């Protein structure tokens, strides 16, 4: 598996967990601390991958250069304490609304017993020393929870030891209490952390066995709600985002991309573009060599001294395109193709018992086909990057989920070592998976190299929607043989979609194990005979991961079908769902299950049933009465190791216009770092899900994407989003799981099931707009 | 030469008259709090105040900006956070935050014309501003919070 395949696989694999060991080092007295830093700051580094990252200068960090110089903060360094008591914590993951700049530092600050008001968060540049910085797959808290706690506890113990040493008393008589202070319990003498920093800086790092991690009742910040660290700056409109980066001497570029994937410029007349006020030049960008992966799409760039001139110049380009092999891609035909494939036997993904034997016995058969179209990410900030190429050195400023990917891809495109590429990570105006593909940063680097000037590449909304890495289109076929009570004795589910792997291997037509693990390979249901399958599909556009990935269409099909079975059995959908989930147990993943994952994150049906019970209770499922045109739907789904139930209430008027007065979500995500952020993520997931369910649809005609902006790719607005979303977090001591994505998958089928309850109309094809609803 | 004011300061412009106010604010003045989202007046990320009333700066050409008094997010923040910004922080509205300057400017305008907005007033008044992260229910709560101070 090459690096790109690995990246793609990691991104989508639910069951990938970090296996690297961390090594914590006291780097207070390293060479780079001398000079700018007066003696005294205490700096600990928790390295995930033991790789020397010390050679760089402190100036390479992008934010707050003055304070960095003073504390000599450095990539790979997680925590430092300045002599004035300021605690610096590095956020090494990308902030895109997920709250990581708050949640992750608070985990460390908790074990450190630091005063949160005296913590300064620094955003890390790209550096392999951090381990994965790829902010994707709802990994951040679950992968770094232990590391950050260990780093904080190590620093705390060293501060306690420093104090004990100063007082000449046993370490056991000293405690880190009150906050930011070490107290000698007998004499009540105290030292502030700032005073202790120079002493702690000279101590050896304690062994892991010596650390005493806090017990949950002792937690100061973990599990307690906290607002965003940056909320004031964000509301003040401070220049935090990639779109806001301005560099001296910078030029602006808009790129006319080939309208069809793989297309090339046949002829170009740039004369009218060059007449636009502010336009400097036009430049061709080479087409990619398949597979396209993260390479630029090619096309023609218009370089100007402001964004508007670049956009206007681009409009004035006259380009004749050679559209190439994908010009035959038509969504109407492709849908039929996928549906045909879904009706034929596919590759077996997982099997329990013998479904076919049971189907042959002549029981009642229920079957249904489902379909879900391509989706675009449409983050509010379109892709944008600034690059400055100076000889062998490159500096990139980019809203990226994948800073090390930026380094790798820019280095590859320019024929440099990736160590020569510095990537400053800005805030992201939304990411949802789009911004882990660094193609737009590569475009900026290529153009900066060609012009010798710092270059800002700005994608318009039309670029963003037409040239996305699209969420895959999928056809699903489900079949069940049911007993006289309507419970399934055999269950078959088959999905067909062009896989993400096609972006990295043009010949790939089957879903990866990662995609299959997203709500498809295993069933949560208590069915003796089960088989999941996957059929082949060839991609004709760039396929990528979008928030929740394959869980979206898989949960839509499975949870809609469960609802159809309930209706067929003439039972209450919630009661039926619980019966279908069956007794509390761990699902056996078969030979694919890795022991480490199974131990930390078993597939626990008891927890899935419990979220359903909580959502039903909190939504008054059994007590609420509905008149004509209104109703309630329920769905459950486990993804990224988190268990979620959604209950959605709808009202549908005579014109088919849907309003959503209330959503109740129950979440079991194990230990929760910051419940405030969990609430936000699940409130937002209901709105994201509303956009998918109501109007989310990307189609192509002759290889060209039909949609272009928010007029033809509408997103949920305040007046059609759910009016009220209540989120109930289950208290748990289980290992932390993902929270950014798991809210989306169950919401969509819960909404469609509610529409059925309200109208009697079953939605088997997304979006609702295709079914006469608005 | 077009003359107008931005955040109380007199400015002149003699560039391409088709340039939208949005790009003038961002690329010429460096006031990047006003965001680019769609370029078609469909998302509200670029909302500023024109003589106190919300407009989409991506739809306002510089050729027609003569005499205008424009206020941006930087303008309402000049003397510490505005009541709306304070409410936004209290309710912890933002997720990614990119659309929030536009949401805040739209809310300032809404509260000027409707000091005591109902839920429906808010939904209708804010329907032009998209938030992809889905912070709408917190925006609604923050507007009600701010109304207690501004009304």
B58 touches chain A (CB under 8 A): no
Q: What is the mean pLDDT of residues A582-602?
A: 88
CB spacing of B32 vs A721 below 8 angstroms: no
As given in the structure block, the two tokens for residue A347 are 């590759």
Q: With both helix axes pointing from N to C terminus, report the angle between A551-568 and A573-581 in degrees, rounded to the nearest 10.
A: 110
Q: What is the mean pLDDT of residues B133-138?
A: 98
Q: What is the mean pLDDT of residues A396-407?
A: 97
Q: Are B147 and B98 in contact (CB under 8 A)?
A: no
Answer yes or no: do A428 and A534 share one domain. no
Centre a 10 Å sphere on the Cβ of residue A653 and count the other Cβ atoms it contains.
11
B132 touches chain A (CB under 8 A): yes
Residue A287 belongs to a domain: yes
Answer yes or no: do A412 and A543 share one domain. no
3-state secondary structure of A430: coil
pLDDT at A714 over 90: yes
Q: What pLDDT is attached to residue A90? A: 87
Q: What is the mean pLDDT of residues A464-475?
A: 98
When pLDDT is cut at 50, 70 and 90, the band that residue A42 belongs to is: confident
- Please give, one letter per residue, the 3-state secondary structure of A218-260: HCCCCCCCCCCCCHHHHHCCCCCEHHHCCCCCCEEEEEECCCC
- Please give, one letter per residue, the 3-state secondary structure of A697-723: CECEECCEECCCCCCCCCCCCCCCCCC
Q: Are A716 and B128 in contact (CB under 8 A)?
A: no
Q: What pLDDT is attached to residue A553? A: 98
User: How many domains, in total, are found in chain A?
Assistant: 3
- Please give, one letter per residue, the 3-state secondary structure of A631-697: EEEEEEEEECCEEEEEEEEEEECCCCCEEEEEEEEEEECCCCCCHHHHHHHHHHHHHHHHHHHHHCC
Q: What are phi and psi of A710, to 5 degrees?
A: -75, -5
- Percent of chain B whose pLDDT exceeds 90: 96
Could you say which DSSP state residue B48 is in? E
Least CB-CB distance to B96: which of A252, A378, A428? Answer: A428
Q: Are A670 and A729 in contact (CB under 8 A)?
A: no
Q: What is the mean pLDDT of residues A82-97?
A: 91
On average, the pLDDT of chain A sits at 91
CB spacing of A719 vs B124 below 8 angstroms: yes
Answer yes or no: do A454 and A484 share one domain. no
Give how far the C-alpha of residue A284 lies from the chain's centroid of Cα atoms, to the nearest Å.
33
Answer yes or no: do A651 and A717 share one domain. yes
| A115-132 pLDDT, tens digit each | 999 999 988 889 887 778
Least trusted range by pLDDT, from A118-127, A264-273, A724-733: A118-127
When pLDDT is cut at 50, 70 and 90, the band that residue A37 belongs to is: very low
pLDDT at A36 over 70: no
Q: What pLDDT is attached to residue A53? A: 27
Return residues 227-256 of A near B (CB < 8 Å): 227-228, 230-232, 234-241, 243-244, 246, 252
pLDDT at A285 over 90: yes
Residue A464 belongs to a domain: no
Answer yes or no: do A294 and A370 share one domain. no
Least CB-CB distance to A381: which of B98, B129, B136? Answer: B98
Q: What is the mean pLDDT of residues A405-413?
A: 97
Answer yes or no: do A608 and A647 share one domain. yes
Domain boundary among A194, A227, A260: A227
Tell me the fold of B2-76: Ubiquitin-like (UB roll) (3.10.20)
Domain boundary among A202, A227, A252: A227
Residue A368 belongs to a domain: yes
Where is pLDDT greater, at A132 or A378?
A378
pLDDT at A325 over 60: yes
| A166-218 pLDDT, tens digit each | 999 999 999 999 999 999 999 999 999 999 999 998 899 998 899 999 999 99
Least CB-CB distance to A721: which of B18, B37, B136? Answer: B136
Residue A479 belongs to a domain: yes
Q: With both helix axes pointing from N to C terminus, report the angle between B136-150 and B83-90 in degrees, rounded to the nearest 10.
A: 140
Residue A757 CB contacts under 8 Å (≥ 6 apart), including other chains: A573, A626, A631, A632, A633, A650
Residue A168 belongs to a domain: yes
Answer yes or no: do A416 and A347 share one domain. no
- For residue A263, give how far its alpha carbon lies from the nearest alpha carbon of chain B (Å): 25
Least trusted range by pLDDT, from A18-32, A222-236, A348-362, A466-480: A18-32
Q: What pLDDT is attached to residue A16? A: 44
CB spacing of A232 vs B89 below 8 angstroms: yes
Residue A235 belongs to a domain: no
Q: What pLDDT is attached to residue A444? A: 98
| A213-234 pLDDT, tens digit each | 999 999 999 999 999 999 999 9
Q: What pLDDT is attached to residue A595? A: 76
| A735-748 pLDDT, tens digit each | 999 999 999 999 99
Residue A236 belongs to a domain: no
Give how far the C-alpha of residue A322 lies from the chain's centroid of Cα atoms, to the nearest Å.
35
Q: What is the mean pLDDT of residues A492-518?
A: 97
Where is pLDDT greater, at A147 or A711?
A711
Q: What pLDDT is attached to residue A21? A: 54
Answer yes or no: do A426 and A487 share one domain. no
A458: chain B residues, CB-CB within 8 Å: 36
Q: What pLDDT is attached to residue A31? A: 41
**Domain of A165, in residue numbers:** 3-227
Least CB-CB distance to A710: which of B18, B130, B137? Answer: B130
CB spacing of A237 vs B32 below 8 angstroms: yes
A315 touches chain B (CB under 8 A): no
Return the closest-CA partner of residue A743 out of A670, A679, A675, A659: A679
Residue A451 CB contacts under 8 Å (≥ 6 apart), including other chains: A251, A281, A283, A303
Domain B83-150 has CATH 3.40.50.300: no
Domain ranges of chain B: 2-76, 83-150
When pLDDT is cut at 50, 70 and 90, the band that residue A39 belongs to is: low
Could you say which DSSP state residue A471 is in? B
Q: Are A303 and A266 in contact (CB under 8 A)?
A: no
Q: What is the DSSP string of A343-400?
A: TS--EEEEEES-HHHHHTTT-EEEEEEEEE-BB----SS--EEEEEEETTEEEEEE--
Q: What is the mean pLDDT of residues A446-473?
A: 98
A311: chain B residues, CB-CB within 8 Å: 39
Q: What is the pTM of this model?
A: 0.94
Answer yes or no: do A580 and A598 share one domain. yes
Q: What pLDDT is attached to residue A47? A: 60
Q: What pLDDT is attached to residue A65? A: 29
Where is pLDDT greater, at A494 or A89?
A494
Interface with chain B: mutation pick from A234, A309, A676, highest number of B CBs within 10 Å: A234
Nearest chain B residue to A663 by CA distance is: B137
Dihedral of CA atoms A229, A234, A238, A242 in degrees, nearest 10, equals 90
Q: What pLDDT is attached to residue A152? A: 93
CB spacing of A380 vs B43 below 8 angstroms: yes
Q: What pLDDT is attached to residue A61? A: 31
pLDDT at A263 over 90: yes
CATH number of the domain that residue A413 is part of: 3.30.365.10
Count interface pairs A-B at CB distance under 8 A.
Answer: 198
Q: What pLDDT is attached to residue A132? A: 80
Least trusted range by pLDDT, from A38-42, A560-564, A699-703, B96-100: A38-42
Q: What is the mean pLDDT of residues A156-172?
A: 97
Residue A741 belongs to a domain: yes
Q: Are A351 and A530 in contact (CB under 8 A)?
A: yes
Least CB-CB distance to A306: which of B23, B124, B140? Answer: B23
Whether complex ipTM tops 0.90: yes
Q: What pLDDT is attached to residue A124? A: 87
Answer yes or no: do A186 and A316 share one domain. no
As given in the structure block, the two tokens for residue A717 are 């607005």
| B68-101 pLDDT, tens digit each | 999 999 999 888 899 999 999 999 999 999 999 9
pLDDT at A772 over 50: yes
Domain boundary among A176, A193, A227: A227
């Amino acid at each position: 598996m090459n690096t790109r395949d690995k990246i793609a696989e990691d991104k989508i694999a639910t069951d990938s967990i970090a296996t690297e060991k961390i090594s914590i080092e006291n780097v207070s007295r390293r060479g780079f601390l001398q000079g700018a830093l007066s003696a005294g700051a205490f700096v600990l580094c928790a390295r995930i991958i033991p790789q020397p990252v010390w050679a760089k200068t402190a100036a390479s960090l992008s934010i707050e250069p003055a304070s960095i110089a003073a504390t000599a903060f450095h990539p790979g360094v997680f925590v430092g304490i300045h002599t004035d008591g300021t605690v610096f914590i590095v956020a090494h993951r990308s902030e895109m609304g997920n709250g990581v700049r708050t949640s992750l530092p608070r985990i460390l600050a908790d074990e450190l017993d630091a005063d949160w008001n005296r913590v300064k968060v620094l955003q890390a540049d790209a550096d392999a020393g951090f381990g994965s910085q790829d902010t994707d797959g709802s990994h951040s808290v679950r992968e770094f929870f232990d590391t950050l706690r260990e780093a904080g506890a190590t620093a705390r113990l060293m501060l306690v030891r420093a104090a004990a040493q100063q007082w000449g008393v046993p370490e056991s008589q000293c405690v880190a209490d009150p906050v930011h202070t070490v107290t000698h319990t007998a004499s009540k003498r105290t030292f502030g952390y700032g005073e202790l920093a120079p002493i702690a800086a000279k101590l050896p790092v304690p062994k892991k066995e010596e650390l005493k991690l806090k017990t949950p009742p002792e937690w100061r910040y973990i599990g307690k709600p906290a607002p965003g660290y940056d909320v004031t700056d964000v509301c003040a409109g401070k220049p935090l985002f990639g779109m806001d980066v301005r560099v001296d001497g910078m030029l602006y570029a808009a790129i006319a991309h080939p309208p069809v994937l793989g297309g090339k410029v046949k002829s170009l007349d740039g004369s009218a573009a060059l007449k636009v006020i502010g336009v400097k030049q036009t430049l061709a960008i080479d087409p990619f060599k398949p597979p396209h992966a993260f390479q630029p799409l090619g096309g023609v760039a218009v370089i100007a001294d402001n964004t508007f001139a670049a956009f206007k110049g681009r409009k004035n380009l006259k380009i004749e395109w050679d559209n190439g092999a994908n010009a035959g891609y038509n969504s109407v035909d492709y849908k039929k193709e996928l549906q045909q494939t879904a009706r034929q036997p596919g590759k077996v993904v997982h099997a329990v018992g013998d479904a076919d034997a049971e189907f042959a016995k002549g029981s009642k058969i229920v079957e249904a086909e489902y379909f879900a179209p391509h989706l675009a990410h449409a983050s509010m900030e379109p892709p944008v990057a600034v690059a400055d190429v100076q000889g062998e050195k490159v500096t990139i400023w980019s809203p990226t989920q994948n800073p090390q990917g930026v380094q790798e891809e820019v280095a590859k495109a320019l024929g440099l070592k990736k160590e020569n590429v510095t990537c400053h990570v800005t805030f992201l105006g939304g990411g949802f998976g789009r911004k882990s593909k660094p193609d737009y940063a590569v475009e900026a680097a290529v153009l900066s190299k060609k012009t010798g000037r710092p270059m800002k590449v700005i994608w318009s909304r039309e670029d963003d929607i037409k040239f996305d890495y699209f969420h895959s289109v999928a056809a699903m076929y489900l079949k069940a043989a049911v007993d006289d009570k309507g419970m399934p004795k055999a269950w078959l589910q088959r999905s067909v979609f062009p896989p993400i792997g096609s972006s990295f291997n043009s010949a790939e037509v089957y879903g990866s194990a990662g995609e299959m693990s997203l709500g498809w390979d295993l069933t949560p249901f208590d069915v003796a005979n089960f088989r999941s399958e996957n059929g082949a599909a060839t991609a004709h556009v760039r396929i990528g991961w979008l928030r929740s990935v394959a869980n979206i269409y898989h949960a839509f099909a499975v949870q809609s079908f469960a609802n159809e079975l309930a209706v067929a059995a003439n039972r209450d959908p919630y009661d039926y769902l619980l019966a279908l989930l069956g007794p509390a147990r761990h699902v056996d993943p078969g030979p694919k299950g890795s022991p480490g994952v199974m131990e930390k994150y078993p597939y626990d049906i008891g927890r899935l049933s419990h979220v359903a019970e909580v959502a039903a209770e909190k939504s008054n499922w059994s007590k609420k009465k509905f008149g004509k045109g209104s109703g309630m739907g329920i769905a459950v789904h486990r993804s990224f190791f988190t268990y979620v139930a959604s209950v959605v209430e709808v009202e549908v008027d005579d014109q088919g216009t849907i309003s959503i007065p209330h959503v109740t979500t129950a979440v079991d995500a194990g230990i929760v770092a910051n419940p405030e952020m969990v609430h936000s993520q699940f409130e937002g997931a209901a709105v994201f899900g509303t956009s998918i369910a109501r109007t989310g649809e990307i189609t192509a005609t002759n290889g060209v994407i039909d949609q272009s902006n928010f007029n033809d790719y509408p997103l949920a607005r305040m007046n059609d989003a759910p009016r009220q979303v209540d989120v109930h977090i289950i208290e748990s001591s289980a290992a932390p799981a993902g929270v950014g994505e798991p809210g989306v998958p169950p919401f969509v089928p819960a909404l469609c099931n509610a529409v059925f309850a309200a109208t009697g109309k079953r939605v088997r094809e997304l979006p609702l707009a295709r079914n006469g609803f608005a | 030469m077009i003359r107008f004011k931005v955040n109380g300061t007199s400015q002149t412009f003699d560039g391409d008259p088709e340039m939208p106010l949005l790009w003038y604010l961002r690329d010429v003045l460096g006031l990047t709090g006003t965001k680019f989202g769609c370029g078609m007046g469909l998302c509200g990320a670029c909302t500023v105040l024109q003589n106190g009333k919300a407009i989409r700066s991506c739809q306002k050409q510089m050729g027609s900006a003569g005499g205008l008094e424009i206020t941006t997010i930087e303008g309402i923040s000049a003397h510490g956070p505005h009541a709306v910004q304070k409410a936004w922080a209290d309710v912890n509205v933002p997720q990614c935050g990119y659309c929030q300057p536009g949401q805040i400017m739209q809310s300032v305008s809404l509260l000027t014309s409707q000091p005591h907005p109902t839920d429906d007033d808010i939904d209708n008044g804010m329907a032009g501003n998209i938030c992809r992260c889905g912070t709408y229910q917190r925006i609604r709560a923050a507007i009600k919070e701010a109304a207690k101070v501004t009304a």
